[in-house]
Amino acid sequence: MPLLDSALLVVAREKGFAEAEGIELRLVREISWANMRDRMAVGHFDVAHMLAPMPIACNLGLTPLAVPTHVPMALGLGGNAVTVSNALWRRMEDAGAKPDLDPALAGRALRAVLRERAKAGDPVTRFAVVHPHSGHGYELRYWLAACGIDPERDVEIVILPPPLMADALGAGHIDGYCAGEPWNSIAVASGVGHIATVKAKIWRLSPEKVLGVAAGWAAENPHALDALLRALYGAAEWCGNPGNRADLAALMAEPDYVDRPAEWLLPALTGDIPTGSGNSVLVPDFLVPHAKGATFPWKSHALWFYSQMVRWGQIPASDQNAAIARETYRPDLYRSALKLLGVALPGANAKVEGALTEATPVGSAGASLVLGPDGFFDGGVFDPGSLEAYIAGQTGRS
């Protein structure tokens, strides 16, 4: 998909990491996530750049025409933002929002604006996300709900493909959206929107895209899968090197990939985000391709997405469904492919999300691994060992 977080796949091919592992990586640009899923189902694709919750939705049978899908690797952390129209931003500023990307402040202002609008009988405020089973959808809802906004009642959430977001915002069809980069920076650069907050501030070091692998293909081609994971690991290291940013922006700007000017891709790579108010904010960990275990498929990430699917009524809570979500992410495949490289491999398969308030070295095989700080902006903590209690404590749709 034409998104910056497809970079690991692009770099694996273009910078020779795939070739060095003896695999031929053919990349196809797709136009919708539904196409990607359908073409994987009929065997056109073996592996794909996928929204992190998408393989879970496939395995839970939430989406039509899905095949069993593994997640043996994540393709980085962070990278999204919430952009609002100029008109909505002006009202949010009047209600106390600052161009500092702080989610609590922006959320409080948005809540005030929504109340005024409801009182005045204005049409409901409409946000777009890219897919019903997306990190964007869940983080937008999490942010809204934590700020006292009911995402089911106080706003309307619709689906739009990322390349159409800025145009829809400019045309007044939507009032805001949560999408991956560069589609927020493009709205700012073309003057149609303001970035209100970012994924990395809603949930720091949160999962975004993963490698989805057709289970049938993985079973028949274990060596090719291992080689692919090693190639992607090499690509992630390359992408994480600040010295390669300009090169990476130029590569991703090409017509076969994101097909937009390189300067629009740079904010996400440097984390220096122009908000649309004439300033820019340096966001730590805006997009993390490699450091801090960014490619490890944490089962706690899978279970958090599952908890949100339950929260928003997409799936009933059951031990069986939780097990399907947990087993979708495959750290075992990650470890077995990468162990020969001598790189840092976490000792655990899951972690308590939001527990680290500072950078912390953790137990790992091979080189040392530093994780965190991580966490949800509202101080929430997700302990995958207390899944049922977490689900029970969520305020869901009313």
Partner 1 sequence: MNAASTLRILVIDDNRVRVSVIEAGLRDAGYDRVTIIHDVTDIARRIGEIEPDVIIIDLENPNRDMLEHMFQLSRAVKRPIAMFVDRSDTASIEAAVAAGVSAYVVDGLRRERVKPILDMAVSRFRAFSRMERELEEARSELEGRKVIERAKGILMKSRGLSEAEAYALLRKTAMNQNRKIGDIAQSLVTAAGLLGGDL
* Site residues (vs partner 1, CB under 8 A): 31-35, 38-39, 41-44, 63-65, 130-132, 158-161, 163-164, 173
Minimum Å gap between C-beta 62 and partner 1 is: 8
Minimum Å gap between C-beta 130 and partner 1 is: 7
- 3-class SS at 273? strand
By C-beta, is 87 or 171 nearer to partner 1? 171
Minimum Å gap between C-beta 180 and partner 1 is: 14
Minimum Å gap between C-beta 26 and partner 1 is: 17
Minimum Å gap between C-beta 31 and partner 1 is: 5
By C-beta, is 44 or 223 nearer to partner 1? 44
Measuring CA to CA, which residue among 379, 333, 322 is closest to residue 353? 379
Beta strands in the chain (DSSP E): 47-51, 69-74, 77-78, 80-85, 125-129, 155-159, 176-180, 193-198, 203-204, 209-214, 272-274, 280-282, 287-288, 345-346, 360-362, 364-365, 369-371, 375-376
By C-beta, is 32 or 241 nearer to partner 1? 32
By C-beta, is 123 or 242 nearer to partner 1? 123
How many residues would you count in the chain?
398
| Cα(154)–Cα(144) distance, integer angstroms | 9
* Beta-ladder partners of 346: 364
Minimum Å gap between C-beta 57 and partner 1 is: 11
By C-beta, is 48 or 239 nearer to partner 1? 48
Angle between helices 86-94 and 103-120 (to 10 degrees): 100
Tokens of 144: 């809204």
| Cα(377)–Cα(101) distance, integer angstroms | 12
By C-beta, is 192 or 229 nearer to partner 1? 192
Helix (H) or strand (E) holding 202: helix 199-202
